[in-house]
Amino acid sequence: MSTTRPATRPGNPRFSSGPCAKPPGYSLDLLSDAPLGRSHRAAPGKERLRRAIDETAELLNLPEGYRLGIVPASDTGAYEMAMWSLLGARPSETLAWESFGKGWVTDAVKQLKLSDNTVREAEYGEIVDLAAVDWDKDVCFTWNGTTSGVRVPSGDVIPADRKGLTICDATSAAFAQDLPWDKLDVATFSWQKVMGGEAAHGMIVLGPRAVERLESYSPPWPLPKIFRLTKGGKLIEGIFRGETINTPSMLCVEDWLQALDWGRSVGGLAGLMARADRNAALVQDFVDARDWIANLASDPATRSNTSVCLQFTDPAVAGDGGFAKAVAQRLDAEGVAHDIGGYRDAPPGLRIWCGATVEATDIEALLPWIEWAYATERAAAG
């Protein structure tokens, strides 16, 4: 292993897991048509909000009868809006295998205080036994655990004739992984992830069974205005046409329209998924060829193609948070990789975003630098 600096640097050192890298070729000039200083309810704003919804639904191949809305507070807002609006009607299960999923468990147990809720949790790197889940209950889960790099391998385990609702946080999966829409009654995501958009706005997908629940059930707890999807027992259909609950940023909306344009230019959903797959495969090949680093996700079928989490396995440094941090800081200081330290609650290691906005050539250029930083830190440790 060499401590000589590699010759090539990534063209773009941004490998953060959110906000994620902007699409290649991005420039603020692309936003010059944003209707700034105008009401979002005036014609230009309405037209853009409607397009943001319609073009997203098209890019994701949402089935007929599924609704998509723009809601406040990024993915968190979208997901909590779903939990607060839908849960409590029947028994539930909350599943978690990393920190965001654990956050939804806390919501269910400590905030909503659901009386008949089963919690299933797995350690970082593992996933819960999905075959043991009772899908006749409402089930809350995160498709891709961003902080552990563990994802649901397939929707096959979710029965088509389930009685409960599936409420899925898909923020680091949407546009990178093949989401089985017929198995998802609710899915949420933020613009800031795979497409490299801005945070602050969330998107919520509602299948017909979720709408049926919304129109037939009123939760016993108070619902703030920004969570309200119904009025007088009826779905507020305007939300799904771009009549947002409160004022959106038209700059963020313009940015999202640009991201969608870019998504179409790389081959739409199939092209976006292929880009993430290729990036993640490059990282995995690198890891497989070395005995000092490994994917945190133990089962290959669960390995994320977006938030790829790695741990150092050499016994001399395995689990050493200070060492992993020093490696990440060295890469940051060198200007070859920003924000790739593992998440604060996750086991020490690196997390490399491999979503579609990251160029494969940049991943290829980064990998020798990881080896360099590792070797340099090991040598410094003596």
Ligand X SMILES: Cc1ncc(COP(=O)(O)O)c(C=O)c1O
Query: Under the rule (CB under 6 A), what is the footprint of ligand X?
Result: 18, 74-76, 100, 142, 146, 169, 171-172, 190, 192, 199
CB of 59 to ligand X, least distance (A): 19
| Number of other residues whose CB lies within 10 A of the CB of residue 326 | 19
Which helix (H) or strand (E) element contains residue 48? helix 43-59
> Helices 43-59 and 250-265: crossing angle, nearest 10°?
40
CB of 199 to ligand X, least distance (A): 5
CB of 13 to ligand X, least distance (A): 19
The smaller minimum CB distance to ligand X, of residues 35 and 197, is found at 197
Write out the two tokens for 202. 């969330």
The smaller minimum CB distance to ligand X, of residues 35 and 248, is found at 248
What residue ranges in 27-116 does DSSP mark as E strands? 67-72, 92-96
What residue ranges in the chain does DSSP mark as E strands? 67-72, 92-96, 117-121, 138-142, 144-145, 150-151, 166-169, 186-190, 201-206, 230-231, 234-235, 293-295, 307-312, 350-353
CB of 345 to ligand X, least distance (A): 12
Name which of 293, 288, 268, 282 is nearest 374 in CA terms. Answer: 293
CB of 376 to ligand X, least distance (A): 29
The smaller minimum CB distance to ligand X, of residues 75 and 255, is found at 75
**HSE-up of 325 (CA within 13 Å, CB side)?**
7
DSSP symbol at 342: P
CB of 38 to ligand X, least distance (A): 26
The smaller minimum CB distance to ligand X, of residues 18 and 248, is found at 18
The smaller minimum CB distance to ligand X, of residues 96 and 373, is found at 96
Q: For every residue of 97-112, which 3-state class applies, written as one string? A: CCHHHHHHHHHHHHHC
The smaller minimum CB distance to ligand X, of residues 189 and 374, is found at 189
Cα(126)–Cα(236) distance, integer angstroms: 39
